[in-house]
Amino acid sequence: MIKFIFVLLLTCLQLAAQENYQNVKKNVEKTIANYKKNGKTNTQLNTIISNFNSSKKSELEDLKKDNVGICIVLSEDNPDLIISPAKYTFDDDKINISGIGPQNPGELPDYMKEYVKKYLTQFESVGSTELFRKLITKKIPTEGTFTENKTEYIVSEPNTISFVRGNEDWMYIISIDDDYMNLSDPRIIVYCFKKSISGKDIFNLNNSLADADKRREVKQSQLEEDREKYPLYHDYRIDDLREGLKQLLAHEPYKSNPELIKHASKFNERLDRFSIRNYEKELLYLADIKISKEFLNEHFNDLTRGDYEIENITHLAAHSLGDIYFAKGDYQLAKDFYKKAIFISPIIVSSGTTFGKDVDRIVYDLNKNAYKAGKKDEAYGFLIALLFDSNINTKKDIETYFTEQKEDKKQFKKDLDKALKTLKEEQDSYTFTFRGNEVFFVPMLQFSIKSFQDSFKNNEFYRSLE
């Protein structure tokens, strides 16, 4: 990433003590007027300048806090007044004020544009951007010293002088070349830094904290809708599939397999709950690919079992296909791939807890899949299965189904007691039959049939039926 850091400095503390913004105001106004002559205007620039002029000297405590913001460079490098990211750093009683990005702001990469857009329109979301995380951790040397007059603080950094004002919500800075009196077109940079998520937003008067809360509610609602419409349990892990394929293709016989290479080459974007749906054909191929234990032991035995992405290629493919077919309404195929993700291609991890959570989630999704398919008794069965041994308490789900299906609790208990008598141990699971539907659960520890039956009859849900 090519970045520029506009280093804003004064030549010395003594010179700064003699400076004030009135000395450079005419330079700023002249530069802005030249932009206007060329038909270039920027409402954010006008807002920042206006607010700077009406603001008082910042509080000293604000001067001593790191912050992130935005800036506009007024120079020939930025003829279109494009807004760039900025960072304010205070360390060891010294200051650095920096614009972040390429020398030409018109070449800002997308992730910087995303940061600027959210800073201007959805400030409460700026912390989720890639650039914000980089700015927070970026260490920038500080050389600037500061002094004050009646109207502002003055920051002296090599080659630059900066004037700092603010109000209860914002800190504004105007910087200029320290040799501005001898330059016909000194470089000027205008900054603003919001102090917190709350308070007035100068760019959108409706962008208050209350309005931010409303947007968060809408965003959360949209997120929940997306999760329902595009389910994907491994949303944060699914991109490991691409890394696993890289590991696989580094070795024979896979790196000479033309069909595998053809399918793997299609994964040319980051995978998430939305993009994964573009690769159904590729996932079907990967769900059946054979990767022997001998191969893994030969090439991937340096780390703990479960630490290589290659180990979970088939599981991620099968589990994702289950989610994809569930979203498409192909409930039988969804069920087939969910079961495949448990019994044929189980997740390989070093943590038993993580393994258990993965299985529990698939069983829970099998319940939703059955209910959507109109098989309410099968759905009941999977919810009951989770009550034997899981981290998911399905009591509320069952009660919701009771209400929707107008279930007779007395009859339900009779049918449940019959189901408990059918409980039996299989090779990797326990099964039972509820109203003609065989379902299963995979416990962390094996116990006797009677132990599971007795334990179940003591749980809160079963007792609520009595």
116, 83 contact by CB (below 8 A): yes
Instruction: Give the separation between CA 25 and CA 2, rounded to whole angstroms.
Output: 32
**DSSP β-ladder status, 83-91 and 94-101:** antiparallel
Residue 187 pLDDT: 93
Does 418 fall in a domain?
yes
159, 146 contact by CB (below 8 A): no
Residues 341 and 411 grouped into a single domain: no
318, 341 contact by CB (below 8 A): yes
Other Cβ atoms less than 10 A from the Cβ of 157: the count is 26
Residues 6+ positions from 64 with CB-CB distance below 8 Å: 90
In 3D space, the residue among 189, 228, 28, 31 whose CA is nearest the CA of residue 98 turns out to be 189
Per DSSP, the chain holds a count of helices (H) and strands (E) of: 19, 13
Residue 462 CA from chain centroid, whole number: 39
Instruction: Give the separation between CA 57 and CA 234, rounded to whole angstroms.
Output: 51
What are the φ/ψ torsions at residue 230 (nearest 5 degrees)?
-125, 70
Give mean pLDDT in consecutive 10-residue pieces for the chain, a chain of 466 residues. 37 53 94 90 90 93 91 90 94 93 87 92 83 83 93 94 93 94 92 78 54 58 61 74 94 96 91 86 96 91 78 94 93 97 92 89 95 96 94 91 94 96 94 97 89 93 89
- Give the pLDDT confidence of 362-390 residue by residue, as tens digits: 999 999 999 999 999 999 999 999 999 88
Helix/strand/coil for 415 = helix
Scanning 230-269, the segments in alpha helix (DSSP H) are: 240-248, 258-264
Residues 29 and 116 grouped into a single domain: yes
Which own/partner pairs from 204-207 qualify as long-range (CB within 8 Å, at least 24 positions apart)?
204/120, 204/121, 207/121, 207/122, 207/123
Residues 244 and 207 grouped into a single domain: no
Place of tokens 């009771």: 402
Residues 195 and 107 grouped into a single domain: yes
Residues 203 and 238 grouped into a single domain: no
Given 332, 350, 368, which residue is the final one in a domain? 350
140, 5 contact by CB (below 8 A): yes
Does 360 fall in a domain?
no
* Tokens matching residue 189: 């940079």
Instruction: Give the separation between CA 159 and CA 212, rounded to whole angstroms.
Output: 39
Residues 194 and 293 grouped into a single domain: no
Write out the residue range of the structural domain in which residue 393 sits: 377-466
Instruction: Give the separation between CA 99 and CA 4, rounded to whole angstroms.
Output: 7
Number of domains in the chain: 3
Instruction: Give the separation between CA 322 and CA 314, rounded to whole angstroms.
Output: 12
224, 83 contact by CB (below 8 A): no
pTM of the model: 0.56
Does 365 fall in a domain?
no
- CA angle 46-49-54, nearest 5°? 125
Residue 135 pLDDT: 85
Other Cβ atoms less than 10 A from the Cβ of 242: the count is 16
Residue 1 pLDDT: 36
What are the φ/ψ torsions at residue 373 (nearest 5 degrees)?
-80, 0
Which residues are paired to 98 by β-bridges? Answer: 87
Given 335, 350, 365, which residue is the final one in a domain? 350
Residues 247 and 170 grouped into a single domain: no
First to last CA, the chain: 66
Residue 209 pLDDT: 47
Residues 6+ positions from 199 with CB-CB distance below 8 Å: 168, 169, 170, 208, 209
DSSP 280: H
Residues 306 and 250 grouped into a single domain: yes
Q: Give CA torsion, residues 59, 61, 62, 67, to 10 deg.
A: 170
Q: What is the DSSP string of 80-101?
A: T--EEEEEEEEETTEEEEEEEE
CA-to-CA separations, 83 to 95, 129, 161, 174, in angstroms, rounded: 22, 16, 21, 14
Does 363 fall in a domain?
no
Q: Give CA torsion, residues 434, 438, 439, 445, to 10 deg.
A: 100
Which residues are paired to 143 by β-bridges? Answer: none
Does 86 fall in a domain?
yes
Which residues are paired to 344 by β-bridges? Answer: none
Does 156 fall in a domain?
yes
* Tokens matching residue 386: 């989770």
Residue 133 pLDDT: 81
Instruction: Give the separation between CA 188 and CA 302, rounded to whole angstroms.
Output: 56
Residues 151 and 241 grouped into a single domain: no
Residues 275 and 398 grouped into a single domain: no
- Give the pLDDT confidence of 35-67 residue by residue, as tens digits: 998 888 888 999 999 999 999 999 898 899 899
CA-to-CA separations, 328 to 280, 331, 333, in angstroms, rounded: 12, 8, 10
203, 120 contact by CB (below 8 A): yes
Residues 191 and 308 grouped into a single domain: no
Does 241 fall in a domain?
yes
183, 177 contact by CB (below 8 A): yes
Does 224 fall in a domain?
no
Instruction: Give the separation between CA 309 and CA 300, rounded to whole angstroms.
Output: 10
452, 440 contact by CB (below 8 A): no
Given 212, 246, 278, which residue is the final one in a domain? 212
Residues 50 and 191 grouped into a single domain: yes
